[in-house]
């Protein structure tokens, strides 16, 4: 079920909100929210809810076993429990997400040995499996480290792993950030109003901007490379750059807003990443919850930056490699992760110091690096992606085409691009600097504005069936 769907906006959300308000206390609301979340997840593929239930029971039992051995502290036993839990979680993720890639790798080896090829299995990917698997792992690891007590109530673990606002595409919530809120939270009118406001802003990002830009990006990326000029390649890359930001940050805004409606406070997942002046800064602003997860559960355990420069650079490359693999089972995602890792290491080697002195040129560098990276991310066929990137680098060499750009890009899309640019941070920064942002928030003008946005969103949803979320496939 999509947040940006009529069923969710007009039926599911009102019913769940009404039920929560009637039940009031968390001990009654939590089981209700678990059932609602499982229904939400089962809406598209009912069978996948069994996988969700297995994940809940598996990680709940792991937490309880760790708590049982805590007093006598048999370190090896606790380590074994943690290892088994991690292996089982990652095995599920690997089966559904990476089995095809693994078989293709085996076939590549067999072809070198002149052996037969294995049939590549077609396994349907459960929506959001990467997100809820990482959340489940953070719970067990935090219990193992003694940072939080093991949860005695199965229903509470179930709510943490399955809660529908951030179930499908994050933000990835670490257990210790939310464990107190599960049993001790309060819904206030101010918080509820703030949640509605945030949800509307997120919905408008998705429906009024991302969906419109997506049509142009998809149309251009579907073209035969022979007919794509350098200018068309640049336009496709820019459209997708803004599409993925407004799509994903819009989802995160909706998730955070929904959480506030139910009394939960989720951490921010985006902080105007396209204002970054380096790739290191970009990853402090983009998909913050994923970056924080990898930093805490992978980068620091590997040694972080405590074991010398060479080991630091290796650790960074490992983290970015895993970041690429987390996003998808394909060579393009692996290369995309290593691409960002390369620039992160380059900045640590000295480029970062130079960027601080460049001012606006530092922003231009970071933005262009990100734009080129998104081409590799969007076009999963690596040779085709490299061809497009080549045309972007030498646009004067690729100008001949039999196609007319206005057949693929509407005036609406062209007019929307400047607004998309302003909305990615410059407008908000200007508001903060002039003090207008403080006057705008919670004013009657903003209330009218949000009402108008909601009306436009409903109209757009009613008249269009084009409504995908990019990060649902991860």
Give residue-wise pLDDT tens across range 13-39: 999 999 999 988 888 899 999 999 999
Biggest CA pair distance of the chain: 75
Distance CA 244, CA 217 (A): 10
Percent of the chain at pLDDT above 70? Answer: 95
pLDDT at position 47 is: 85
Per-residue pLDDT, averaged over 416-422, amounts to: 89
- Confidence grade of residue 238 (pLDDT, cut at 50, 70, 90): very high
Cβ atoms of 472 and 41 within 8 Å: the answer is: no
Cβ atoms of 294 and 344 within 8 Å: the answer is: no
Cβ burial, residue 428 (10 Å; 0-12/13-18/19+) = middle
Residue 290 confidence (pLDDT) above 90: yes
Distance CA 135, CA 80 (A): 20
Q: Is the dihedral of CA 172, 175, 176, 177 positive or negative?
A: positive
Q: Is 340 a catalytic residue?
A: no
Per-residue pLDDT, averaged over 284-313, amounts to: 91
Residue 146 confidence (pLDDT) above 60: yes
Give residue-wise pLDDT tens across range 314-363: 999 999 999 999 988 788 999 999 999 999 999 999 888 888 888 889 99
Task: Kindly list the domain boundaries of the chain, sorted by start residue.
Answer: 30-185
- Confidence grade of residue 122 (pLDDT, cut at 50, 70, 90): confident
Per-residue pLDDT, averaged over 115-135, amounts to: 79
Distance CA 185, CA 69 (A): 30
Distance CA 30, CA 20 (A): 9
Distance CA 5, CA 2 (A): 5
Distance CA 219, CA 444 (A): 40
**Measured CA angle at 97 (ends 382, 257), to 5 deg:** 100
Distance CA 59, CA 158 (A): 10
Cβ atoms of 201 and 453 within 8 Å: the answer is: yes
Cβ burial, residue 104 (10 Å; 0-12/13-18/19+) = middle
Q: At what angle do helices 154-162 and 175-183 cross, to 10 degrees?
A: 120
Of 60, 25, 82, give the one whose Cα is nearest residue 154. Answer: 60
**Helix (H/G/I), strand (E/B), else coil: 227:** helix
pLDDT at position 67 is: 87
> Annotated catalytic residue: which of 287, 327, 340, 412?
327
* Low-confidence winner among 64-68, 89-93, 229-233, 463-467 (lowest mean pLDDT): 463-467
For 171, list phi and psi in degrees, rounded to 5.
-65, 155
H-assigned helices in 145-229: 154-162, 175-183, 189-204, 211-221
Distance CA 127, CA 40 (A): 11
Distance CA 319, CA 301 (A): 11
The end-to-end CA distance of the chain, in Å, is 16
H-assigned helices in 69-173: 75-112, 129-144, 154-162
Residue 264 confidence (pLDDT) above 60: yes
pLDDT at position 72 is: 58
Q: How far is CA 7 from the centre of its chain?
A: 23
Distance CA 244, CA 378 (A): 10
Give residue-wise pLDDT tens across range 156-182: 999 999 999 988 877 898 898 888 899
């Amino acid at each position: 079920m999509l947040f940006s769907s009529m069923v969710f906006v007009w039926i599911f959300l009102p019913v769940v909100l009404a039920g929560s308000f009637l039940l009031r206390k968390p001990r009654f609301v939590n089981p209700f929210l678990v059932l609602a979340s499982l229904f939400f997840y089962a809406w598209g593929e009912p069978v996948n809810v069994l996988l969700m239930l297995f994940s809940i029971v598996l990680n709940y039992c792991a937490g309880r076993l760790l708590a049982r051995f805590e007093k006598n502290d048999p370190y090896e036993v606790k380590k074994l429990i943690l290892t088994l839990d991690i292996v089982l979680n990652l095995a599920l993720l690997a089966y559904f997400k990476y089995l095809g890639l693994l078989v293709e790798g085996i076939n590549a080896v067999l072809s070198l040995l002149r052996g037969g090829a294995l049939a590549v299995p077609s396994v349907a990917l459960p929506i959001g499996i990467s997100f809820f698997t990482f959340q489940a792992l953070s719970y067990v690891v935090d219990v193992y480290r003694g940072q939080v007590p093991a949860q005695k109530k199965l229903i509470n673990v179930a709510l943490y792993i399955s809660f529908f606002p951030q179930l499908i595409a994050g933000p990835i919530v670490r257990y210790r950030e939310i464990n107190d809120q599960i049993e001790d939270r309060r819904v206030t009118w101010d918080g509820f109003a703030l949640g509605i406001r945030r949800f509307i802003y997120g919905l408008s990002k998705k429906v009024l901007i991302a969906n419109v830009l997506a049509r142009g990006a998809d149309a251009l990326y579907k073209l035969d490379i022979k007919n794509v000029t350098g200018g068309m390649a640049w336009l496709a890359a820019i459209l997708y750059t803004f599409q993925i930001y407004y799509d994903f940050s819009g989802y995160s805004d909706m998730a955070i807003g929904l959480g506030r409606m139910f009394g939960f406070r989720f951490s921010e997942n985006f902080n105007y990443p396209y204002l970054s002046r380096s790739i290191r800064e970009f990853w402090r602003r983009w998909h913050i919850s994923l970056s924080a997860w990898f930093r805490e559960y992978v980068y620091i355990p590997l040694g972080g930056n405590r074991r010398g420069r060479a080991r630091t650079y290796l650790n960074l490359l490992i983290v970015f490699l895993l970041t690429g693999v987390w996003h998808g089972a394909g060579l393009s995602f692996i290369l995309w992760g290593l691409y960002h890792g390369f620039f992160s290491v380059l900045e640590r080697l000295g480029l970062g110091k130079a960027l601080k002195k460049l001012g606006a040129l530092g922003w231009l560098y970071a933005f262009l690096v990100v734009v080129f990276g998104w081409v590799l991310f969007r076009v999963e066929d690596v040779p085709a992606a490299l061809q497009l990137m080549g045309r972007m680098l030498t646009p004067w060499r690729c100008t001949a085409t039999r196609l007319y750009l206005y057949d693929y890009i509407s005036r609406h899309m062209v007019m929307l691009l400047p607004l998309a640019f302003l909305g990615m941070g410059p407008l908000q920064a200007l508001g903060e600097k002039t003090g207008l942002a403080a006057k705008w928030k919670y004013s009657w003008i903003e209330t009218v504005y949000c009402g108008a946005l909601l009306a436009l969103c409903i109209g757009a949803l009613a008249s269009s069936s084009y409504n995908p979320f990019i990060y649902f496939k991860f």
